[in-house]
Structure formats: C-alpha cells, structure tokens
Structure 1
Amino acid sequence: MNRIPNATSKGRRVKMGVIIPTVNTVTEPEFNAMRPEGVTVHVTRMPIHFHPEEDGFKSLMEDLEIRLNEFALFAADIVAYNCTVGSMACPPEMLVNKLESVTGSPGVTTAGSVIQALKALEADSISLATPYPDATNQHEKEFLERSGIKVLKMAGMSFDAVEPELGRKFAEVPEEEIYRHALSVDHPDAKALFLSCANFPTAALTQQIENTLGKPVITSNTATFWAGLRKAGITDNIEGFGSLFSISP
C-alpha cells in the first residue's frame, strides 16, 4: 500500500495556511522540506503591496481578507503572511491582528518572525544578504534597526530585470552563487547571518553556511516556518536547516 505523506503515525497535528506573493515558487518546496510529521502546508497567493501606506493600507487589508477567508473555511490552525518586503512595509501589529481576527487562528508574519528568531538566538548584530537592489536593502536595514537589530554589513545582487520578472529571477539563483554571496557578506562581529527574501532558495544551505561561519544563519522562510510551528505549539527539533529549530522563543 502506498503511504500518503499526510497520513502519518502522529496523525494530523497542524494545518498551516500560508499567503505568498504571486511570483513565489520557493516557499512551498522549502516549507514542505522542513515540515515535521503531522504538519500540512496549504498555500494561497496574492500580489505584493510595496507601498500599502499610500491608501492607508486599505488595498492590502482587502486582499488579505479574501485569502484569509479561505483559511477560515478549512480551519487552519496557524496562518502566515510570508513576504519579507510586504510584511516590513506594514505595522507588524496591524498585519497580525488582521490574520488572527479573520481566521480566528494564531498568525505570524515574515518580518515579525525574523525579529523573533534573531532575538531567540540572542543576535543583536547581523550581516544581511539578499537578492534585492540597494533601495530595498536600505529599507530592510532601517526596519531591522528600529527593532533593535544592528546591521553591520549588507549586500544584494544585481539583475537586469524589473518586476515581475525580477521576482522570478530571485528564485533561479544557483545554490553555489547564493553560498558565495552569503560568505562574502559575513562580518566578523555579526552574531548571525540573515538571508532575506521568501523567494530566494536558501533554506537548504543554512546548515552548510552555519558550519562554515560558525554562527547562526536564518532565512525568511526558516524564520517564518519556525515561528509558525512554535506559535502552533509544535516544538520538534528539525535537523538540517540551522540551529534555529533547536530552540523555542
């Protein structure tokens, strides 16, 4: 008899609903690679709102509500808004309140998860490696530093493209190139390295980079998945994706 992956010996423990940007093709395989027994991942998509403040966050909240109502219908146990840039462009409490009020379930965002993960790792100074242009990196640095995380060194990557092609290109960067990029951005005084962007295929590299640098490495997706699991009461130590999964908030 063929084994159905979701019908595990532990039974279904948590249904995680995840909102990702329309062009994202990385989150689903990475979350499914990391998920412990009994956890299922259910994804829906929506456009990124780069400047949601321009209409007082109205369009963002309306788009979120449509997707969150889907999660409410199947009674997701935990919901996540998995977009680094999008979640850093909105007050964190506003996003979490929206996730939780519509679904009635606990919610996490990538921005909040990154801060939570770095604080759990006691990393108040970091290096920041991204696929983004300089302007996006600067915005991200400002967000992190407002949250008490000092960015000692940062660098993005260069692409001859604009959105939406630019977002698609993030997902196509070879692992070898990401690995070299990550090592080049490390600062000797940084207590951790953050590989940013949910559509940047970095989760599988975290353990290798940690072993090389001798310090914690988190990504947008490892932080979001870890925070979602912990908020849902799942404390499994998931091996192979960095030391973050060995701790609880």
Structure 2
Amino acid sequence: MPSSNSNAESLTADILAGSPDVGVHYSRFRLPADLDDRIDAKVLGDAPSLLSDAELDAIAFHGTSGSWTGLEGDRALADSLTEATGAPATTASLALVAALEALDAGRVAVVFPGPASIMALIEREYSARGLEVARSSVPATSMSNPEISRMSGAEIGALMKPAFGSDVDAVVCIGTNLRSAYLAAGFESEFGVPVVDSATATLWHLLRLAGTARPIPGWGMLLATA
C-alpha cells in the first residue's frame, strides 16, 4: 500500500473484527509525485517480495491509479505480484470493476477526492470498460493523500451526497485513503443505492481470491452479500 495511506489498515481491521481466521499483512511503498505516473513492479520495489515470506493466499496493490492510467496496466501489475508471491492478485481498481460486475451495476456515479482533470480520465477508462458514469463529485480544491485521510465525516458526506440518485446502479468511491466506507451503510439505507468503496472492494476481492469469502454485515451491500 502507499506509504501515505492511513485508512486501509485500520478500516480492514474494523471490518474483519469478527473474522479471527483471516490474517492481513501489509508492506508499503512510496507513491510517485505525479498522479499520471503508472504504478509498476519497479515502483513497488521490495514490497511484494517481503510479503511473499508470509506465504499469502491472495495479494492486492492497494491503490486506485489504474482507474485513470488504465486497467490493462493494473492487470500487468497483478500478474507481476503473482509472479513475485505465487498468490492470486488484484488491485483496488480491478476490485472495483469486479464488484460492479457482481452487483450488475453498469450505470454509476463516481466520487473522487482528486482533481476534475483526473476524473475525466476515470470517466474515459470506465466508458472503455462498458461502464457509464452518469455523474461525478470531486472536491473544489486539490488535496494531498494525507489531507484526504483527514477529511471529517461531514466533509466526506458532503462530497458523496451529490452522487446519489435513483438513476444509477451504484455509487463508486475511488481512493483507498478516503474514509467513505464508514458512511456507506447509512447512505445505502437513505437512498437504496449500493456504495462501492475502494478499500472495501479490495478486501471483498481478496477474500474471494483467497477462497474465504463470507458475508460481513454492517459495511454495505457488497460485503453483506459476499
């Protein structure tokens, strides 16, 4: 996971609090300075091989850059993770798409805590994958990864709420440092629309790849129906 991420580990521990049979292990790498840079095995450095020593059942790159730099690059990255560890692999971006397929969600709204210019690339990439982005919600000003992690619940809710409506099959929250998972169940109850959070989707996909999928209530429709 990116060295600047402070959400994923604590969130995953919260979600798996009732699953003592599942162990989750982490290794960190430093993100490139430019959001446009593609993440590959060279960027990850020794992180995958260090995790390989734990004899994993599944592994994920816990980042969403493939949502705008291209999912084909993420598939190549997943292949490199499997080569390094011997475990089936995914990425947060691939997990999001897999979750949308599982939910039969083809028309979505996207919440992204980054610049509108990157959001336009996400829309293009999703369109190429047969996913229609009906609308999107981005912040008024650009934020760093640590700044995203420090957003309050009220700020995150204000970013998410414009995405909801009866005309979409799901709301996708792109960014594993955005603490949207904690608000997912509440918004789903209010609007009746699934929320697919990046960090939640990554865990959902990892559990499936590891052959230990199970319903986990309290965190939204995706995990509840696993």
**Is TM-score (shorter-chain normalized) higher than 0.5?**
yes
**TM superposition score normalised by structure 2:** 0.91
Cα distance between partner residues in 2 of 1:142 and 1:224: 22
8 Å contact kept, 2:58–2:210: yes
Q: Deviation of residue 47 (structure 1)? A: 2.1
Q: Where does residue 209 of structure 1 map in the other structure?
A: 187
Give 1:190's match in structure 2, choosing from 168, 178, 183. Answer: 168
| SS of residue in 2 equivalent to 1:39 | coil
8 Å contact kept, 2:108–2:170: yes
Cα distance between partner residues in 1 of 2:90 and 2:98: 10
Q: Deviation of residue 124 (structure 1)? A: 0.2
Cα distance between partner residues in 1 of 2:67 and 2:51: 19
8 Å contact kept, 1:123–1:191: yes
Give 1:34's match in structure 2, choosing from 8, 12, 15. Answer: 15
Q: Deviation of residue 160 (structure 1)? A: 5.8
Give 2:141's match in structure 1, choosing from 159, 170, 175. Answer: 159
8 Å contact kept, 1:125–1:150: yes
| SS of residue in 1 equivalent to 2:24 | strand
Relative to 1, partners in 2 of residues 1:243 and 1:69: Cα closer, same or farther, differing over 3 Å?
Answer: same
Q: Superposition RMSD on alpha carbons, in Å? A: 1.7
Equivalent pairs, count: 220
Relative to 1, partners in 2 of residues 1:94 and 1:160: Cα closer, same or farther, differing over 3 Å?
Answer: closer
Note the alpha carbon deviations across 1:47-97, whole angstroms, 9 max, x for none.
2243445xxx7xx32233511100111212211101012565252320111
- State whether structure 2 residue 54 is matched by structure 1 residue 71: no
- List structure 1 segments (4+ residues) > 6 angstroms apart after TM superposition: none
8 Å contact kept, 2:137–2:160: no
Q: Which amino acid aligns with 2:105?
A: A
Q: Deviation of residue 180 (structure 1)? A: 2.5
| SS of residue in 2 equivalent to 1:44 | coil
Gaps of 5+ in 2: none
Q: Where does residue 13 of structure 1 map in the other structure?
A: none
Q: Where does residue 30 of structure 2 map in the other structure?
A: 47
8 Å contact kept, 2:164–2:193: no
8 Å contact kept, 1:152–1:187: no
Q: Which amino acid aligns with 1:227?
A: H
8 Å contact kept, 2:218–2:224: no
Correspondences of 1:1-249 after superposition (within 5 Å): 20-35=1-16, 36-49=19-32, 50-52=35-37, 60-86=40-66, 88-90=68-70, 91-159=73-141, 166-248=144-226
Q: Which amino acid aligns with 2:6?
A: T
Gaps of 5+ in 1: 1-19
Q: Which amino acid aligns with 2:180?
A: T
Cα distance between partner residues in 1 of 2:209 and 2:142: 39
Q: Which amino acid aligns with 1:31?
A: T
**TM superposition score normalised by structure 1:** 0.83
Q: Which is higher, the Rg of structure 1 or of structure 2?
A: 1
8 Å contact kept, 1:26–1:200: yes
- Normalized per residue, the structure richer in strand is 1
